[in-house]
Each structure stands twice: as structure tokens, then as C-alpha cells.
Amino acid sequence: MNAEFASLYAALERVPVGTQKLAVAYSGGLDSTALLRALVERPTELPVRAIHVCHHLQPAAKAWAEACARQAAAWEVGFTCIDVEVEIQGRSLEAAARDARYRALQRELGEGETLITAHHARDQAETFLLQALRGAGPRGLAGMPREAMFGPHMHWRPWLEIGYETIAAYARKSQLNWIDDPSNHDPDIARSFLRETVMPQLRSRWPKADDVLSRSAAHASEAATAIDTLAQIDLERVMESNGTLDARRLGALTAARAKQVVRRWLAVSARDRPDHRHVAAIVELGTSRLAASPCVAFADTEVRLFDGRLHAMTRLSPVGTPFEYEWNGCAPLLLPGGCGAIAIEPAPRVRLNLKVASRRGGERVASGAAGHRRVKDVLREARVPPWLRERVPLVYYRDTLVAVGDIWRHPHIEQLIRDDIGAFVWRDRPA
């Protein structure tokens, strides 16, 4: 090992806890080639392999993959090549390629295998500026963490505080060969424009720009951690046991703290990440006095207010065409339009002559002494949210309504059917 580059080797000694194997994201560029070489030179008991993701976005993509395979073989490192298809779908090509790459890498990693990438201080500085230009808050400005969960695995960036010049000098000193991807010089790509045009100008005026911006990212990371800690404390005071937010307690917080609680709530609930407009709208939603079910929707997530609680859920599909099915009750019946499924538990011993239908309006249920009540009143009294009321399945025996989902059950159902019957269960209902 070359003592001149001791900092590169030393950074590779701080392996994340639980790591049993290392997988280098190996594009064949200067940075990842230097990283792979340093791992080869550094004595380790951990198995190392290189993973190359071929996006097929450049004419030379296949040749690059073959070159990476040859280099890995020359260094006696295991090699895996993954072909991916990049689907843009309204995103930038850079973002779509990154998402496709990371999905493929996450699927490829084995148990105890940590992904290691060659991101360095210059990358961190660029990320900080890009996030600032997008109007990001402290978490976005924090840039890339040294260690982060990557699905069930870990993503490790050991060189994040090391300057590009050090890595480039190591590559030249080691007489490495690497691939120069032309997309890295494409001014239509935001990061490439920043790297090729903006950053050189900044360095000409502030030579330590990379280090300073990286330091700012570290400060932002500390601030974000402090904010997250306070948000978690506030969230524990505001969130109910069923995962909803108490709108009154949320409203008692300052606007800034309430917004952070909403962000934290959606994150721990594994929902889509909202932008600042959605967060502000959700906080305002908590004070809504609308009689209907107010809603803030973004990506595949909806946040709705009901009964003084904010509910986060997967975006609901519109209520479709009314349905009606014959059902024997022996197996769960899957319902259309995201209405879940209806089942009887335990399943009946004999086949029943039931019918399951959607609400059409005006339905009534039996209510003592030959009286009847409207289904809408039963649902309101049971505090069923409006988005469930319009999707609840109705179960009939012949022409008699015997169950409204698992919310109401006919008081004399056994006499009507002339057999014992288990509980109706409305499964997979919209959250």
C-alpha cells in the first residue's frame, strides 16, 4: 500500500457494524475504479465483489461492462453485471437512471452484504448546492450520509470526507484505467452542468469551496438530526395508538413544529415524501371545519381529516360501478374498486345463499320491534369515516340485509339462515 494515500485506506477500516461482505458499485469511472483498487490493496477478511449496472443509455455501454469484467478478473475480484431498463416517466433521465440502478443493486445484495460507493467531498458539495437550488430544508441540505439503511442492507460511503484531488492522484499514481462517461460532461444534466460550469468558477474565487460546502452539509445534518429528535418527541404526544394524528394537539404546536411532526409522521408511516406545499396544506387540514371529508393528495398518498384525526393512506381509487355478487360464504370474496374483501370466520359448514352488493343509497337495517334504521345512520353512529361508508359491502340473505361489512350484523341472522354463522370480517379495507 502507498503511504501517501493513507487517508484512503484508513477510511476503509471503519466498516459498518454487521457487514459480512462488501459489494462495490463499480461503474468503471475514476472514483469507483480507485475504490475497488484500494480495497484490493487493503488487507481484509471480508469478501469483496464488484457490481456493474448497465443502463444501456450510451452506445458503448456493453463495451464498458466488458471492460469492468476484465478489470475485476485481473484483480481477482468477483464480478456481477446487472442489466436495467430506465423508465423516465416524468422524471429527469439522471433521476430515473439512479432509481433503476439502486433498485437493481438492492435486489442483488445478499444477507450481510454492504453496498460501498465512492462518493467523495466534491460529490457532497455538488449535492448540497443542488438541494439548495431545489429549496430543500436541513435534511435535504445534509446531502449524503456516510452510512444509511439500504432496504435491509447498509449503504456505506467511506470516502465522503476525502477530496476528489486525493482520489484522482491515487488513480494516476496507481496507473489505473477508467471509463469517461460522456454524460458526465452533458450540460443538460443538472449535476454535470454544476460540475463542469459552476463549480470551477466557485473554486477560482473560493479554492476551498468543496470542503466548505461539505462542511455546511455536515452542519445541516446535525441540525436535521436535532429537528428529527424534537419532531419524534412531539409526534409521540400527537399520534394516537391507531397511527392517526390528533388534530387538536397538532394545532397546539407552533406551525414550524407541526410541519416537522407531519413530515416525521409520514416518514414513519412509510408514506410518500411531501413537499413544502403539501406539508402546509396538511397542517391547515387539521383546522378544517368542512362537513365533507377534506383531503390532501400527493403521489400515491392521501391524508384525510375525520373525527378530529388525520388519517394517512394509500390514494383511493374512485368508487366504481355498483357491484352485486352471489356468494356462498365458504371463501373470502374479493371486491372491486379497492373495497377489500368480505369473509366469514370461521367459514360456514354449508354453502350459503348470500348476495354481496355495494351501497346504492336508501338501504335500511332491522332495528328491534320490527323497526328499521337507515344504513347511513348506522355508519355515522359507528364513527365510520366517509371514505369507508361509500365502500362498505352489504350482505343479503335472500332479500334481507344481514350484514353491513363487519360494522353491523342482523340480530336474528341465525334464525333467518337456520344455522350458526361466524363473524363477518371486512378485510383489506381502505385505511
**In the predicted structure, residue 1 carries a pLDDT above the cut 70:** no
Q: How far apart are CA 321 and CA 222, in angstroms?
A: 52
pLDDT of residue 250: 96
Give the mean pLDDT of 389-417.
Answer: 92
Angle at 366 between CA 413 and CA 376, to 5 degrees: 120
Confidence of residue 309 (pLDDT cuts 50, 70, 90): very high
pLDDT of residue 414: 86
Return phi, psi of residue 116, to 5°.
-125, 125
Share of the chain above pLDDT 90, in %: 81
pLDDT of residue 320: 77
DSSP state of 239: B
Confidence of residue 90 (pLDDT cuts 50, 70, 90): confident
Tell me which of 218-222, 351-355, 366-370, 398-402 is least confident: 366-370
**In the predicted structure, residue 287 carries a pLDDT above the cut 90:** no
pTM of structure: 0.78
pLDDT of residue 88: 83
Q: What are the sequence ranges of the domains in the chain? A: 5-220, 239-314, 324-427
- What's the grid cell of residue 318? 374512485
- What's the grid cell of residue 188? 443538460
pLDDT of residue 91: 78
Q: How far apart are CA 99 and CA 6, in angstroms?
A: 33
Q: How far apart are CA 385 and CA 259, in angstroms?
A: 24
Give the mean pLDDT of 326-342.
Answer: 92
Q: How far apart are CA 356 and CA 328, in angstroms?
A: 10
pLDDT of residue 319: 79
The 10 Å Cβ neighbour count of residue 427 is 15
pLDDT of residue 292: 59
pLDDT digits (tens, 9 = 90+) for 180-193: 999 999 999 999 99
**In the predicted structure, residue 431 carries a pLDDT above the cut 80:** no
Please give the annotated binding residues for ATP, written as ranges: 27-32
- Whose grid coordinates read 381502505? 430
CA distances from 38 to 11, 153, 161, 248 (A): 10, 22, 16, 56
Q: How far apart are CA 136 and CA 184, in angstroms?
A: 24
Asked if residue 389 lies in contact with residue 381, where contact means CB atoms within 8 angstroms, the answer is no
Tell me which of 283-287, 312-316, 365-369 is least confident: 365-369
Tell me which of 152-161, 284-293, 409-418 is least confident: 284-293
Please give the annotated binding residues, written as ranges: 27-32
Angle at 222 between CA 218 and CA 225, to 5 degrees: 135
Bridge partners for 54 per DSSP: 83
DSSP state of 180: -
pLDDT of residue 256: 96
**In the predicted structure, residue 69 carries a pLDDT above the cut 80:** yes
- What's the grid cell of residue 231? 419532531
* pLDDT winner (highest mean) among 285-294, 362-371, 420-429: 420-429
Residue 349 CB-density burial (10 A; 0-12 exposed, 13-18 middle, 19+ buried): exposed
Confidence of residue 369 (pLDDT cuts 50, 70, 90): low
Give the mean pLDDT of 129-144.
Answer: 94
Mean pLDDT of the chain: 92
Give the mean pLDDT of 286-315.
Answer: 86
**In the predicted structure, residue 291 carries a pLDDT above the cut 60:** no
CATH code, 5-220: 3.40.50.620
**In the predicted structure, residue 8 carries a pLDDT above the cut 80:** yes
- What's the grid cell of residue 303? 391524508
Q: Beta strands of 110-266 (E only): which ranges?
A: 113-116, 147-150, 153-156, 245-246
pLDDT of residue 115: 98
Contacts of 410 (CB under 8 A, 6+ apart): 365, 366, 400, 401, 402, 403, 416
pLDDT of residue 289: 67
- What's the grid cell of residue 377? 345512520
Bridge pairing between strands 153-156 and 113-116? parallel
Confidence of residue 258 (pLDDT cuts 50, 70, 90): very high
Q: How far apart are CA 193 and CA 130, in angstroms?
A: 11
pLDDT digits (tens, 9 = 90+) for 179-235: 999 999 999 999 999 999 999 999 999 999 999 999 999 999 999 999 999 999 999
Confidence of residue 294 (pLDDT cuts 50, 70, 90): confident
Which amino acid is present at 118?
Answer: A
- What's the grid cell of residue 391? 365502500
pLDDT of residue 290: 60
**In the predicted structure, residue 349 carries a pLDDT above the cut 60:** yes
The architecture of the domain spanning 239-314 is Up-down Bundle (1.20)
Q: How far apart are CA 235 and CA 243, in angstroms?
A: 10
DSSP string over 8-51: HHHHTT-PPTT--EEEEE--SSHHHHHHHHHHHHS--SS-EEEE
**In the predicted structure, residue 371 carries a pLDDT above the cut 90:** no
